[in-house]
Amino acid sequence: MERWTFLVIAGPDGSPTQLRVLLRDGDDPARWPAAQVGLDGSDLPVDDVAHDYEAPEWQAAQLLESAGGAARLDRVKDGLRSRVAG
């Protein structure tokens, strides 16, 4: 079973600006594949900026609505799946 984490990162004004997605694979969080995207759908480098809250998947898709919503989120997830040794 896949386990996903969707972390919302806010800008200076407190509104969401980015989403960090992690595929929780195994017991070592340092080895979990991660991706970070702007709410416009742009790929961003994964950083260690503190997140504001963890969102459910439906909300993560909603935050990416202007970039394709669930379809964009599925592409991010597919990219992370491809990085897990199988």
The 10s digit of each residue's pLDDT in 7-32 is 999 999 999 999 999 999 988 998 99
Q: pTM value?
A: 0.93
What are the sequence ranges of the domains in the chain? 4-81
Give the up-direction half-sphere exposure of residue 66: CA atoms within 13 A in the CB hemisphere.
Answer: 9
pLDDT (average), residues 35-51: 97
- Please give the helix or strand (H or E) that residue 20 lies within, else none: strand 16-23
In the numeric block, which tokens belong to residue 54? 């963890």
pLDDT single digits (tens) 56-66:
999 999 999 99
